[in-house]
Amino acid sequence: HRHLLGTEGLTPAEIGYLLDLAENYAVQDPRAHQHSPLLSGHTVINLFFETSTRTRTSFELAAKRLSADVINMSVAWSSIKKGETLIDTAMTLNAMHPDVLIVRHPDSGAVKLLSEKVHCSVINAGDGSHEHPTQALLDALTIRRRKGKLAGLTVAICGDIMHSRVARSNLHLLTTMGARVRVIAPPTLMPSGIERLGVEAYMDMRAGLRDVDIVMMLRLQTERMQGSYVPSIREYFRFYGLDRDKLAMAKPDALIMHPGPMNRGVEIDSEVADDIDRSLIQEQVEMGVAVRMACLEALTADLRAGDPRVPAEG
């Protein structure tokens, strides 16, 4: 079975293929997909060990628009609360013969481990501070639609780089596609040696934002900071919060992104977050559905070949 566990190692051709597929879904009226028979008779299970608003609902919508049967498992309502392990939970779901398992887990590497045990395709919906590949794909689609390209753009990813799976997936994807990536963070939230991944590291936000095309803000992930230094909110906003003043360092047509959930007044000021001309935040959410439809389509292509459950296309 084919999995999507990360953007690291994906080729430019694979990324381009997924983005082109997603573009087809993005340009159409979403209501037109209600009856796409592509995944008719197939089962998709959302298995979320962490909270989610955007990722879980957009995977559910994507699967439903392709006519799959969709099950949503939330840890709060599952037998994990009674002590069942990750692997036992996965094997239980595996016994129901799903075609795709979409998994979010607080531990880096947990989704890969699970993919080695089950007999279906697995999509990583975020594992710890490791990867969140569909987020990077939807970010790339959003950028490509607005700027017409990825290669040659300068993208600044700002904030809690240390704990961010969104930063990791984005920097792999964007550098693979020929964009220049800068990461901006306070020293305590900057992973050491990150330059080895082909990015430029800045501790000073104004210097890092100079002449960039895209400013991508990240949330302070305090839930992953147990035992380590947590910055004071007021100090953090002063030095690393995006406001009009700091944004003025970027190109005049620079666009603002945030994967959500957003903490207004912490990493981003409402004035820039809600700027209808420059903020792509709502568009990112919209592209999430298109990208997840594309990923479901691509991962199940082998499965659907010659499958009598699926009506012939055309």
Interface residues with ligand CP (CB under 6 A)? 52-55, 126, 135, 259-261
Q: Residue 245 CB, nearest distance to ligand CP (Å)?
A: 26
Q: Residue 288 CB, nearest distance to ligand CP (Å)?
A: 8
Nearer Cβ to ligand CP, position 159 or 310?
Answer: 159
**Nearest C-alpha neighbor of 297 from the set 63, 122, 46, 104:** 63
Q: Residue 126 CB, nearest distance to ligand CP (Å)?
A: 6
Tell me whether residue 136 is exposed, middle or buried, using C-beta atoms within 10 angstroms of its C-beta: 0 to 12, 13 to 18, 19 or more. buried
Nearer Cβ to ligand CP, position 183 or 201?
Answer: 183
Distance from C-alpha of 294 to C-alpha of 292, rounded to nearest angstrom? 5
Nearer Cβ to ligand CP, position 255 or 303?
Answer: 255
Nearer Cβ to ligand CP, position 125 or 254?
Answer: 125
Nearer Cβ to ligand CP, position 260 or 265?
Answer: 260
Q: Residue 138 CB, nearest distance to ligand CP (Å)?
A: 9
Q: Residue 289 CB, nearest distance to ligand CP (Å)?
A: 13
Helix (H) or strand (E) holding 123: strand 121-127
Q: Which residues of 207-228 are buried (b: 16+ CB within 10 A; e: fewer)?
A: ebbeebbbbbbbbbbeeebeee
DSSP 235-299: HHHHHH-B-HHHHTTS-TT-EEE--S---BTTTB-HHHHT-TTTB-HHHHHHHHHHHHHHHHHHH
